[in-house]
């Protein structure tokens, strides 16, 4: 049994998520207000139709022609008006829904890309996609339908209650016979709905992640002949997801059936009370008809209000998952104005990178990956970091690029006239980057290059492709630089992808070129041509590389080895190769 304290914690958590959600959607208050007003008008018209019907029936029995015509006209007018306004509501909901849904997705995506890299890396890409699509959709739905629906249903409930109290207060007692049951079931409903919604959304995120990874790595899966194993794995995952959904559906079905039985009892009680009153001549037949309509609407509207609780919990669960994303710390921009002011000088004369006593530990780690690291890289120099895989080389590059903030120590970028700025996201404008992993995008070769310089001409692209020794194979392609690039560049070799990535970095025309195992897929001759071209065409650039290949080291001004304890030692090319 769930303890009272646990229930309190559950409701506190739900309250916190809804508080955040209401603050988040306050920017859409105009949309909500319009939707609410139209919904209230539609509900009021529905009640008006019921009242008109009462007077129409009584007028027919009394053979009062004038009242018959008036009541019938009112009923027809209100009925048609309700149809029109419901159609308008549907259209407004569609227009507002698509707009709000797009804006929420844009906001979440924007927050992801502007959040600190260390925070974002904790989430699987499939989970992030699920939050952008599934959870964002639930939140958008809350804005477009749920919150306005609360006001509409509440209006209908209050209106029905007012009519029942006006014509027969005793009828209200019958209409509320289900209240004790609803109150007792609310906690169980809240607990189970929260549980199933959370499990379902988490499992859906795992499914998306599995689909994404397996499809992206399909070549490897086929090569190892393990396709059947992956099909079996997705079958198990889908079976688990199906079980979660069916368990939720079973619980919802049982609760719905119980509510239906209670509603039936209440309806029969109201019906019996109305028949008895009619039998004794206390009410007219028209009033009896009104009671039957209104009592049904009163019970239905009250049940609808209660049934909003599972939806509110589902929305809160989605909001909580989005809240996790929007509360990730954002990059603070660093000295953006100063970096912009230094840009021309840096591009023209280059920049020196000074690292002093740098230490960094990942959030999920216990020991520093790099510890007390110091080095210098001047304009025109090529600096290499060597060492075993996973010992901190890439971490140093991430610190230079401002993707990570050091625990202690500093990385300073200094111009030739002595002006200095701390490495941060703002100083990335001084850098080009060639990643270790495959990092091309769908589109064409030109699209991939112009990502970093949209205004570049075809001649500009040819120039950097020649420097990266990529033009030799691209000019032979039927479409040249407009040759399509398939997902992950599977229609090119790894070496070709690396040369395209190097060309993209050169097109950026930045003072610092950061290369993480950037020539690992190139043969020695190609690697030598690429490096020679880079040093000749861009002599004042600061080149920082990580490598396992001894052939690279003879081009380096200085070589630093990162040890297993995270410390840095300057070594010779012979020592590094050995």
Q: In what order do the strands lie in the sheet with 352-360?
A: 370-377, 352-360, 408-414, 420-422
Domain ranges of the chain: 20-326, 337-577
- Predicted confidence (pLDDT) per residue in 169-199, tens digit: 776 666 666 666 665 666 667 667 777 777 8
Over residues 203-221, the mean pLDDT reads 79
pLDDT over 80 (residue 54): no
Within 8 A by CB and 6+ apart from 105, the residues are 132, 133, 136
- CATH superfamily membership of 337-577: P-loop containing nucleotide triphosphate hydrolases (3.40.50.300)
| Prediction pTM value | 0.76
Q: How far apart are CA 474 and CA 481, in angstroms?
A: 6
CB-based contact 278:285 (threshold 8 Å): yes
> What CATH architecture does domain 20-326 belong to?
Up-down Bundle (1.20)
Query: 386 φ, ψ to 5°?
Result: -125, 170
Could you tell me the pLDDT band of residue 241, with boundaries at 50, 70 and 90? confident
Q: Which two tokens stand for residue 305?
A: 């209000």
CA angle 459, 464, 466 (to 5 degrees): 90
- Predicted confidence (pLDDT) per residue in 74-122, tens digit: 888 888 887 888 888 777 777 777 777 888 888 888 888 889 888 888 8
């Amino acid at each position: 049994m769930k303890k009272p304290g646990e229930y309190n914690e559950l409701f506190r958590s739900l309250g916190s998520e809804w508080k955040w959600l209401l603050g988040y959607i306050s920017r859409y208050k105009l949309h909500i207000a319009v939707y609410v007003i139209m919904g209230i008008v539609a509900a009021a018209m529905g009640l008006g139709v019921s009242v008109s019907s009462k007077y129409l029936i009584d007028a027919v029995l009394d053979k009062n022609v004038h009242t018959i015509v008036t009541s019938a006209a009112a009923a027809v007018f209100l009925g048609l008006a309700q149809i029109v306004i419901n159609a308008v509501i549907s259209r407004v909901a569609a227009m507002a829904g698509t707009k709000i849904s797009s804006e929420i997705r844009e906001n979440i995506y924007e927050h992801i890309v502007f959040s600190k890299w260390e925070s974002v890396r904790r989430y699987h890409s499939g989970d992030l996609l699920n939050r952008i699509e599934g959870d964002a959709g639930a939140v958008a739905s809350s804005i477009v339908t749920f919150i306005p629906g609360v006001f509409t249903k509440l209006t209908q409930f209050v209106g029905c209650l007012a009519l029942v109290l006006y014509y027969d207060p005793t009828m209200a007692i019958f209409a509320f016979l289900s209240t004790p049951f609803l109150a007792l079931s609310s906690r169980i409903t809240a607990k189970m709905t929260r549980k199933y919604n959370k499990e379902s959304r988490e499992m859906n995120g795992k499914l998306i992640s599995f689909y994404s990874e397996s499809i992206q790595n399909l070549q490897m899966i086929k090569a190892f002949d393990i396709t059947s194993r992956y099909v079996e794995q997705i079958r198990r995952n889908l079976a688990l997801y199906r079980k979660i959904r069916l368990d939720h559906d079973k619980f919802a079905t049982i609760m719905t059936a119980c509510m239906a039985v209670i509603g039936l009892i209440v309806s029969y009680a109201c019906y019996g009370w109305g028949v008895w009153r009619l039998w004794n001549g206390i009410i007219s037949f028209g009033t009896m008809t009104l009671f039957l309509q209104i009592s049904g609407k009163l019970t239905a509207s009250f049940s609808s209000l209660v049934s909003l609780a599972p939806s509110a919990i589902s929305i809160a669960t989605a909001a909580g998952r989005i809240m996790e994303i929007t509360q990730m710390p954002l990059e603070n921009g660093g000295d953006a104005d100063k970096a912009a002011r230094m840009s021309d000088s840096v591009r023209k004369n280059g920049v020196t990178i000074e690292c002093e006593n740098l230490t960094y530990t990942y959030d999920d780690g216990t020991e520093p990956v790099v510890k007390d690291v110091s080095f210098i890289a001047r304009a025109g120099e090529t600096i290499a970091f060597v060492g075993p895989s996973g010992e901190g080389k890439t971490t140093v590059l991430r610190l230079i690029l401002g993707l990570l903030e050091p625990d202690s120590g500093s990385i300073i970028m200094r111009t030739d006239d002595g002006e200095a700025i701390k490495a941060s996201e703002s100083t990335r404008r001084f850098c080009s980057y060639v990643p270790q992993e495959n990092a091309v995008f769908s589109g064409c070769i030109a699209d991939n290059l112009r990502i970093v310089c949209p205004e570049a001409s075809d001649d500009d692209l040819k120039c950097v492709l020649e420097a990266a020794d990529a033009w030799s194979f691209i000019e032979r392609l039927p479409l040249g630089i407009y040759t399509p690039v398939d997902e992950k560049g599977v229609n090119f070799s790894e070496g070709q992808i690396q040369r395209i990535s190097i060309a993209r970095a050169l097109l950026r025309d930045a003072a610092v070129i950061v290369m993480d195992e950037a020539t690992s897929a190139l043969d020695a001759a190609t690697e030598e041509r690429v490096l020679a071209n880079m040093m000749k065409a861009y002599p004042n650039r600061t080149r920082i590389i990580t490598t396992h290949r001894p052939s690279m080291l003879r081009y380096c001004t200085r070589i630093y080895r990162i040890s297993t304890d995270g410390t840095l030692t300057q070594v010779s090319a012979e020592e590094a190769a050995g």
